[in-house]
Structure 1
C-alpha cells in the first residue's frame, strides 16, 4: 500500500523504562512501540501522535504490569494528557504493546474518544511472545465503523531491525 501523499497518522502508545525482553528485564530509554512508530512514520511520511495517559505508568516492570492488569480487570479508561483531531486523516496506523493479550487501556480511551467511521485502521503491536493477542478483535468491536486490516506483530526486542517487516506489511495491506 502506498501511503505517501495520503492523510495518514501514526498514533501509538509506548512504555519506556523497565520492559521484558528475551527473558530478562531491561531498561529502555525509548519504548519498543515508539521505535516502531517512528520507523513506520519515516517509511510512510505520516504524522506522529503519542497516546499518553495523564497518570504515567510505573517505571518498574512488575508495578507497571500490575497496574495494567488492574485497569484491564476494571475496564478502566484513563484520561489522556493530550489529544489529536483525527478528522482530516483517512488512514490511522495504530501502535501499542500487547499487554495482557490486548491493547493497553489508554489506547481504548483514545479509540473511544474519536469517530473512526470510514477510516482505514492498520494496527501494529510490540510483544515478547503473545503476538497480537485478541487486540484485533477488540479493536474491531471498539471502532465498528472503521475498516480494520490485519495487524503487524513485532517482537519488541527486535523492533530496531524491523523495517523490512514493516515495509512488507504495508505493501500487503
Structure 2
C-alpha cells in the first residue's frame, strides 16, 4: 500500500511539471504572435523593390523656442525634440532596407506644449480635419513599397497622415505600418488607415513600440524587418 501511495505522488508531480511547462511555452508563443502578426501568402516582399519610408513625427511639426528647457527624461516631452520617436524608427528602417525618407509636415505647426498639442489633435479628429501639408512626394508612382510611420494620436493616426494618404495615389502598392504610442497601443489606427487606402495591400505585421522603449528599439526593428523578409 505504501509503495502504491509513493508511486501516485510521483505521477502527480510529473503531470504538474509538464502542465506548467506547457503553459509557459504557450504564453511565449502567444506574445510573439501578437507582436509580430502574419504576412499574407499572396503578398511576398522583394528586396529589390523601390521603397519609400514616409512618416509623421511631432518633432518635425512643431517649433521649440528653447530646446534646453525641455525635460528629455519626461516621456511626454522628449519626443518633441528632433529627430522624434517615429523618425528614429524610420531612419533605422532606411539603414536596413534602403529607400527614400519623406517627413510628413503640416504648414501650421503644432504647439510644442504637450497638452496644447493634444487638444488640437483632439479637435482635428473630432472634425475629421485634413491639415494642409507643406510638401508632397512628386514621384510616388516610382515606389512599390511604402513604410508608413506615425504616433498614436487619440486612438488613431494623426489627421495629417490622412492628408498624405488622400494626396497620394497608393493603389497597388504594398504598405507596411510602424507606430509609436503611449498606453493606447495601435488602437484603431490600422483599421482607419486600411479604410483610407482600400486599393493598397497592407501587411498585417505591424511594428509598434511604447514611447519609453523607442531609444532601445533598434534591435527589435531589425528583427521585425528580418521577419518581413528584408
Instruction: Please confirm whether the aligned pair reaches a TM-score higher than 0.5, indicating the same fold.
Output: yes
Equivalence for 1:52: 105
CA-CA distance at 1:137 after TM superposition: 0.6
Aligned to 1:136: 190
State the partner residue of 2:7.
none
- Quick check: 6-15 or 125-134, which moved more? 125-134
- Note closer, same or farther for the CA distance 1:98–1:87 as it changes in structure 2 (3 Å cut): same
Query: What is the TM-score of this pair, normalised by structure 2?
Result: 0.69
Q: Which has the larger radius of gyration?
A: 2
Aligned length: 173
Structure 2 regions of 5+ residues with no counterpart? 1-43
CA gap 1:155/1:22 in 2 versus in 1, 3 angstroms: farther
Q: CA RMSD in A?
A: 2.3
Alignment of 1:9-158 (within 5 A): 9-16=52-59, 25-27=76-78, 28-30=80-82, 31-84=84-137, 85-150=139-204, 151-158=206-213
* Cα offsets for 1:82-118 (capped at 9, x unmatched): 0113110000000000000111000000001111111
**Other-structure match for 1:8:** 51
For normalisation by structure 1, the TM-score amounts to 0.91
Change (3 A) 1:24 1:33: closer
**Which is strand-richer, 1 or 2?**
1
Runs of 4+ in 1 over 6 A off after TM superposition: none
